[in-house]
Amino acid sequence: MNIKTVMVIGAGQMGGGIAQVCAQSGYNVILNDLKDEFLTRGLGVIKKNLNRAVSKERMTEEDKNATLGRITRSTDLNDAKNADLIIEAAVENMSIKTKIFETLDQAAPAHAILASNTSSLPITEIAAATKRPEQVIGMHFMNPVPVMKLVEIIRGLATTDEVYQAIEEMTKSLSKAPVEVEDFPGFVSNRILMPMINEAIYTLYEGVATKEAIDDVMKMGMNHPMGPLQLADFIGLDTCLYIMEILHEGFGDSKYRPCPLLRKYVKAGWLGKKTGRGFYSYE
């Protein structure tokens, strides 16, 4: 299958990053969000990223302008009629995602592949909202998208080999490394990462050590580039809690029970870097 035009749903941190790497790799990109102001903000981040690349001589001014020229704005999901591949990067909520996929199924051409950047939700359930489950697949990019190489590619129950191969090839064309993963809660990345973060929060909750000490142990002792509590702040504590709840519900195992301190912080609105306060202060 020949993928030329990619529609990205959501102009936030993940969607904007996906749009950027697709446009840099020569694809025509339709960047969609609910409001024009969200698109303006997302495109502002993309421009900032590209300007930084130019200043560091990783990209020419001409390449930057060409990349931006390949991105068009959209606030209408019916613009999917012009896309060969649609990558959904909306909020991590099953009811919202299934509504989006129902609409995309109606709007997108028959040949189009529908992909989700979900970090934990079942692809098979998302695909069931469409009449083309064989053309639905997971493409879980890592954050920040322009920097991180990995993309988890998740097959739903009905995903065909042809669709998988097309997405694997497209992922490689973005200079990313595709890894095939089966459709289980949290896939591989978050099934391993989130319980580690949750255990770090329990370690703080139980008074074993300070937040700085916990992060230092993992950075200096385990060679992690960032401590688990700082990483949780960067991911968003609400996102961490949501994924832990999906793991807990999906496996029914008490080892995935979210730490009460994580719940408390989320209820307080201390969601990490994006709100200025989480385990650390970002004022």
For range 92-108, the mean pLDDT: 96
In the CATH hierarchy, which top-level class contains the domain 5-181?
A: alpha beta
pLDDT for 283 equals: 82
142 is in an annotated binding site: no
Options 140, 180, 199, 283, the catalytic residue: 140
CATH class of 190-274: mainly alpha
The verdict on whether 125 is a catalytic residue reads no
Per residue in 145-198, pLDDT tens?
Answer: 999 999 999 999 999 999 999 999 999 999 999 999 999 999 999 999 999 999
pTM (two decimals): 0.92
pLDDT at 142 over 90: yes
pLDDT greater than 90 at residue 27: yes
Q: Is 177 annotated as a binding residue?
A: no
> Would the annotation count 10 as a binding residue?
yes
Query: Residue range 82-110: average pLDDT?
Result: 97
Q: Is 152 a catalytic residue?
A: yes
119 annotated binding-site participant: yes
Q: Residue 49 has what pLDDT?
A: 96
pLDDT exceeds cutoff 90 at 220: yes
Q: Is 15 annotated as a binding residue?
A: yes
Is-same-fold flag (5-181; 190-274)? no
| 115 marked among binding-site residues | no
Kindly name the residue from 49, 88, 152, 198 that is annotated as catalytic.
152
State the catalytic residue, choosing from 190, 245, 248, 254. 190
Active site residue 190: yes
Domain ranges of the chain: 5-181, 190-274
Q: Which of 117, 119, 120, 198 is catalytic?
A: 119
What confidence category does residue 260 fall into, taking pLDDT thresholds of 50, 70 and 90?
Answer: very high
| Per-residue model confidence (pLDDT) at position 1 | 78
Active site (annotated) includes residue 119: yes
Q: What is the structure's pLDDT at 247?
A: 96
DSSP string computed for the chain: ----EEEEE--SHHHHHHHHHHHHTT-EEEEE-SSHHHHHHHHHHHHHHHHHHHHTTSS-HHHHHHHHHTEEEES-GGGGGG-SEEEE---S-HHHHHHHHHHHHHHS-TT-EEEE--SSS-HHHHHTTSS-GGGEEEEEEPSSTTT--EEEEEE-SS--HHHHHHHHHHHHHTT-EEEEE-S-TTTTHHHHHHHHHHHHHHHHHTTSS-HHHHHHIIIIIH--SS-HHHHHHHH-HHHHHHHHHHHHHHH--GGGPPPHHHHHHHHHT--BGGGTBSSSB--
